[in-house]
Amino acid sequence: MADDNTAPPCHVSVMPGEIVDWVAQCSPTVIIDGTYGAGGHSRLLRDILPPDGLVIGLDRDPAVSALVESQPPQDRISLFLGSYEKAGQALQACELEHADALVLDLGLSSDQLADRDRGFSFQNDGPLDLRFDPENGVPASEWLTRHSEKEIADAIYQFGEERFSRRIAREIVLRSKQRQPVRTVAEMVDVCRRCVPRGKNHDIHPATRTFQALRIAVNEELDILTRTLQAAPEWLSPGGRIAVISFHSLEDRIVKNAFRDDERWQILTKKPLRPSDEEVAANSRSRSAKLRVAERR
């Protein structure tokens, strides 16, 4: 629950062995973990550093900072509250000019999914919030009231690739006009169930794409990722590496194009790497992960 900030994390890091292997090859001294989460990648990356090495962790979720504060100090790990696009500022705070590696795991953590007050999982009812940082921005329920039917439909189609986006947006706006605005996870799921027909041999939950779209819109995820990839070469020393794990085609396309179109990057993975069968069997949430790695020229 959200009010138990000291509860032990349940999140399992995705593709940890691959991340460590690719980052270790550049013999880093300073590594930025832009999506700290439960710290799984950071702790593994710290183990490959020399004695004077440092992992700089960032996370937008205030619950992460609260968790870290409740635990013993993490040796050679310095944590900052903020989006990974603030990595340059974190470097300055540590009086450093460059890092040797940058790691981004763009997936939603199991701990966020388990928090009923955040609304990330449509399996549990609660407020329709969907913000990574509940202290900034507006919750998804309010975002819906601030946008027109067309804007809602466009966002659900663009960010969720949901074919029935117009039907969903129409129902959302209709409920608002009837003074029954969508404010909870259960209400949003009900809208999706009514508007998205279940096809044969189709296992995906009817709310999956819409919830993904609203989360991306509320948190400005794709804009932040695009800006980060444009700035990242400035944060890395020559020969430094960036490793990005994405979980859906929109993110992966942005990463792929950024690596391809920026001459400062040398692509090291011509095709995205996927988790092993053993990892997927042990952690089903890793099944859609794609890892791309590039090196700073």
- What the chain holds in terms of domains, given with CATH numbers, is 16-111+221-296 (3.40.50.150), 117-219 (1.10.150.170)
What is the largest distance, in Å, between two alpha-carbon atoms of the chain? Answer: 63
Q: What is the model's pLDDT at position 204?
A: 86
CA angle 243, 16, 284 (to 5 degrees): 110
Please indicate, yes or no, whether the overall pTM of this predicted structure exceeds 0.85: yes
> Look-up: residue for tokens 């096809």?
199
Dihedral (CA of 47, 48, 53, 55) sign: negative
Q: How far apart are CA 202 and CA 91, in angstroms?
A: 46
Residue 224 burial class via C-beta count within 10 angstroms: exposed 0-12, middle 13-18, buried 19 and up:
middle
- Looking at residue 10, its pLDDT comes to 56
Predicted local confidence at residue 126, as pLDDT: 92
- Measured from the Cβ of residue 73, the count of other Cβ atoms closer than 10 Å reads 7
pLDDT of res. 141: 98
**With a cut of 70, which residues of the chain have pLDDT below it?**
1-11, 67-68, 72-73, 109-116, 200-202
Does residue 122 contact residue 211 with C-beta atoms inside 8 Å? yes
